[in-house]
Chains A and B, each alone.
Chain A
Amino acid sequence: MKQQDPRLLVQPAPLLKQPLTTSMAMFDVLLALAPATLAGIWFFGLGALLILLASVAGALLTEWTFLPADQRRGQIANGSALVTGLLLGLSLPPSLPLWMAFLGGVASIGLGKLIWGGLGYNLFNPALVGRAFLLAAFPVAMTTWSAQTGPADFFQLASSNLAAPLMHADYDGLSSATPLGLMKFQQESTPLWELVIGKTSGCIGETSGLLLILGGLFLAFRRDLDWRIPVSILLTVAILATLLFLIDPTRYPDPIFAVFAGSLLFGAIYMASDPVTSPITPRGAWIFGIGVGLLVVLIRYFGGFPEGVMYAILLMNAATPLIDRYSQPRVFGKGLESARSGHE
């Protein structure tokens, strides 16, 4: 009568899990970025594609090299290094020498993530750390913007793209100022339509506002990003820009320009909303977003740079632990009047 029972696990409950995993969330980000990425390659040609590949390669190679052998497969497979590399690549100018893009990828993962303890422990957005590193190391290359080549000259590489490492790069006569640069230094506006579809010079992935917003909506719908962060950043910038525009329309651009020009949309939707480096609480997300928006306006309008999204986000990244600490919601049942008068 003795029967064999099946070998049973004694895993504690809950046994049910919602189906989404971290690597699926990373894949969602890749999917959301795909239209803007393809548009960037379309606008800027083969050079853009090579830069994206170089920065992704730098990121993945660094991840692989510095991770313990038993963690490599899992960590690479979760796609976070891929996302970092792609985000960095999209935030680079299309005429950047490829070796710099590669080095940026290395810095993103190495200095931005691994030295903090790896995924989930970094204080600053890794892609932005890589970008800040490049901007500090190669200020000229990072602020030389080539005009769009268009699909006709797809295979035409800028000579600077192929510059040898550590050698002086030649920037041919392609240079063309970004909409924000035009606004800041020449008081020249760019037609709105060109900003929306992305027919301007600028970083590879930042030019097409429409595609960036579409990807952002997808991520918000999938709950992969906290919608409060992009919304609060964009609202803050729009409100402040409106105020400034009303004060002096000749000096300050209109708010729609302020939102669509430069890397604000790209930064607000894809960089600032990085969950690791932004507050975890809903109230914290609002504070964080408003802070980024304020800093963007301060840097753009009153600082020396035409663009300030990167530094704005990095500065607020640093404030994230503090924001988290002071924005914890009230615990259910705690801090009520009746609690004090009731028991004991």
Chain B
Amino acid sequence: MNALRAVSLFRRGFAHGVHPPDHKALTAEVPTQRIPFASRYVLPLNQHLGAPARPLVEVGQRVRRGQRIAEPTAFVSTSLHTPVTGWVRALDRRCGPDGAYQEAIEIEADPYATQRLEPAVPRDWRSLSLEELVEELPHSGIVGLGGAALPAQVKYSLRAGVRIRYLIANGAECEPYLTNDHRVMVERAETLLRGIEILQTLLGAEETIIGIELNKPEAIAGLRALIQPGQGVRVVPLRVKYPQGDSKMMIRSLLGREVPAGLHAADLGIIMNNVSTIAAIADWFETGTPYIDRRVTVSGPGIARPSNLLVPLGTQVREVLRFCGGLSEDTREVIMGGPMMGKPVANLDAPIVKTSSGILAFTAKDTARPREYPCIRCGRCVEACPYFLNPSRLARLARARLYDEMKRLNLMECVECGSCTYSCPSGIPIVQLIRTAKSNLRGRRRAVQG
């Protein structure tokens, strides 16, 4: 039986990829804790893919936790809600998550407010159509929480004639250190399953598959115990391999199908959402709670008390770190997100935003770059790239700034998972070079169009 399972798992996986140590034991068993309210919150207007939101409030105005303070300005855009009761103190440029200053709403919390969120009457979602779901979601402020930050409604607005067969709940959480999706699946399993029921029903999908990496047995067993037979929901354990959570790799692993380049999963009758996103959608329909609190894994060798926290959006990274015992003396770098694809935090004033899945602190030992040697064409990156690109060649071309030649070699198919840099024994920053090339090409296209 076990052997059979091993064989089927082997066949189900995607090809290539890497096996970084997952470091999840630091926080996997730590229950999520709510961080106390701080005094100041900074909410950038552009926490999602697409057009920035437009403020609906004025300086000095009193706002209540959960109140909408900015509205979407386009289809690919979403709302923003204040996570605290207090006063709008500024509509100005503030330090964003990447350290760059950007338009934001600053809110001062009312220290005497209860900060309680009055639950709304559960909505009758069964009467909704898919089109109404698409109209509804921009009000919730929910975005794809796996990292893409695509406003939630975008995926559900289907092209005419597309029929969805499968809903996939992505619980892979393949980034090392991060355990916030894991905690959602353990602590909020019922909510997640209700979210699945809503989406599965509105989509008319035949089946929902929850894909979870094998290193989260608690989540797998817990969800399996709650699923009723005949519900059309199934948990599929996946090999622990990076980047298992990449949507196209996940579809390859779960359904054995390859999403053609340039097409979306929906074109194959598949919709995939992160488990946290699905739970957030359930919250919106059941209690009217907009997306205002982010589950964040605070971990890494530089953190005194690794934790899973429920953090109001806009909380400064500094406050989050202080709550976890501060940074160790030898911390050299703080990353927002996972260690493979996250972004470095340049300034601890940076706010927690909708996609801040993790705050990780690394010491000098972890951040030391190995001496870089010339590429000896060992081929490890070629065997790591899940998209079957030739990272060695791309890196060499990037050094020569032959960006057009890189484009010919399918540069744009790269999802920047970083498996190439991880695997390179010569210490070449391959994915970093590729990112530079891609942004250069995109900038060039903008320049031509603009």
Contacts and interface: CB of A to CB of B under 8 A. Distances in A.
Contacts of B263: 333, 338-339, 342-343
B410 interface: yes
A186 interface: no
B55 interface: no
Nearest to A21: B425
A168 interface: no
Contacts of A24: 425
Given A9-B332, A13-B339, A22-B376, A332 B387 contact: yes
A176 interface: no
Contacts of A118: 374
A172 interface: no
A281 B390 contact: yes
Which residue among A7, A324, A338 has the maximum number of chain B CB atoms within 10 Å of its CB? A338
B382 A281 contact: yes
B403 interface: no
B62 interface: no
Interface string A21-55: 11111000000000000000000000000000000
Interface string B351-373: 00000000000100011011101
Contacts of B318: 5
Interface string A235-270: 000000000000000000000000000000000000
Nearest to B386: A332
B260 A336 contact: yes
Given A21-B425, A118-B374, A331-B389, A282 B342 contact: no
Contacts of B382: 280-282
A152 interface: no
Nearest to B257: A338
A119 interface: yes
Q: Is the interface of B mostly helix, strand, loop or mixed?
A: loop
Given A16-B20, A331-B387, A332-B413, A11 B262 contact: no
Contact of B260 (A275, A324, A333): A333
A330 B262 CA distance: 15
B392 A12 contact: no
Interface string B335-356: 1011111111111100000000
Contacts of A74: 371, 373
A22 B344 contact: no
Interface stretch (B118-126, B215-223, B416-424): B416-424
Contacts of B260: 333-334, 336, 338-339, 342
Interface in B372-390: 373-380, 382-383, 386-390
A19 to B, nearest CB: 9
Nearest to A343: B263
Given A6-B332, A11-B369, A281 B379 contact: yes
B344 A17 contact: no
A304 interface: no
B258 interface: yes
A17 B413 CA distance: 23
B390 A339 contact: no
B261 A339 contact: yes
B152 interface: no
A23 B263 CA distance: 42
Given A5-B318, A280-B382, A11 B367 contact: yes
B190 interface: no
Given A8-B333, A12-B432, A334-B413, A120 B375 contact: yes
Given A14-B418, A328-B390, A333 B413 contact: yes
Interface in A272-326: 275-276, 278, 280-282, 324
B422 A333 contact: no
A329 interface: yes
B209 interface: no
Nearest to B371: A74
Nearest to B381: A280
A8 B345 contact: yes
A289 B195 CA distance: 54
Which 4 residue pairs are nearest across A and B when measured between Cβ atoms?
Answer: A339-B260, A120-B374, A14-B418, A333-B261
12 contacts: A9-B332, A12-B344, A15-B366, A16-B422, A21-B371, A22-B427, A280-B393, A329-B388, A331-B389, A332-B388, A333-B258, A334-B260
Given A120-B374, A334-B260, 15 more contacts: A8-B346, A12-B432, A13-B341, A15-B333, A17-B421, A21-B371, A21-B373, A21-B427, A22-B426, A120-B373, A276-B376, A278-B377, A333-B260, A336-B260, A343-B267
